[in-house]
C-alpha cells in the first residue's frame, strides 16, 4: 500500500514510465541515423554511468531519499545534479526526431515536464536531508551542463 506522502512522487514516476513506454513502443527503439544513434548511445551511457556512480542501492526511482542514502557529487554529478533524467531525455530525443509525430512530440514534452517537476520535488527533499546540498547546488546545474 502506498502511503499518502508517497502518492505524489508515485504519480510523477508513473507518468514518467508510461511516457517512456509509449515512446519506446510507438516507434523504433534504435535511431536510424548515425548521429541519432550516437546521441542515443551517449544518453544510455550517461544513464548507466550515473547509476554506477550512484550505486543501485542509493537511488530510488521515485523522487524520495532512501534511508541511509548518501549525497553523490562525483562522476557526472560533479557537473549536473540529475544525470539520470538528462540521460533519458538525450536518449529519447533522436527516437522522436527520426520517427516524428505530434503525439510522440507531446509525450516527449510531458516526459520532460514531469522530470522537471520531479527534480523540484526531489531537490526540496535533498535540501532537508543533506547538509551540503545547498552548497552543491551552487556549483552544478540541474539537467544541462553549464546551462540549466
Averaged pLDDT score across all residues of the chain: 94
The sign of the CA dihedral 135, 140, 142, 147 is: positive
Three-state secondary-structure class, residue 78: helix
- pLDDT mean over 93-109: 98
Domain count, the chain: 1
In a domain, 144, yes or no: no
The residue segments making up the domain with residue 101 are 12-20+29-139
Highest averaged pLDDT of the listed ranges 3-7, 48-52, 66-70: 48-52
2, pLDDT greater than 80: no
C-alpha cell at 53: 556512480
Q: Tally helices (H) and strands (E) across the chain.
A: 5, 0
pTM value is 0.92
4, pLDDT greater than 80: no
pLDDT confidence bin for 55, thresholds 50/70/90? confident
In a domain, 62, yes or no: yes
CA distance 100 to 95: 8
Amino acid at each position: 500500500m502506498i502511503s499518502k506522502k508517497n502518492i505524489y512522487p508515485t504519480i510523477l514516476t508513473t507518468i514518467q514510465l508510461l511516457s517512456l513506454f509509449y515512446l519506446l513502443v510507438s516507434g523504433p527503439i534504435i535511431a536510424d541515423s548515425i548521429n541519432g544513434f550516437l546521441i542515443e548511445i551517449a544518453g544510455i551511457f550517461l544513464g548507466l554511468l550515473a547509476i554506477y556512480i550512484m550505486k543501485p542501492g542509493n537511488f530510488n526511482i521515485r523522487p524520495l531519499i532512501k534511508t541511509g542514502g548518501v549525497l553523490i557529487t562525483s562522476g557526472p554529478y560533479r557537473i549536473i545534479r540529475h544525470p539520470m533524467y538528462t540521460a533519458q531525455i538525450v536518449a529519447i530525443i533522436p527516437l522522436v526526431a527520426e520517427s516524428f509525430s505530434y503525439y510522440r512530440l507531446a509525450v516527449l514534452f510531458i516526459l520532460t515536464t514531469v522530470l522537471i517537476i520531479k527534480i523540484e520535488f526531489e531537490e526540496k527533499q535533498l535540501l532537508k536531508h543533506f547538509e551540503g546540498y545547498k552548497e552543491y547546488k551552487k556549483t552544478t546545474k540541474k539537467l544541462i551542463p553549464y546551462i540549466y
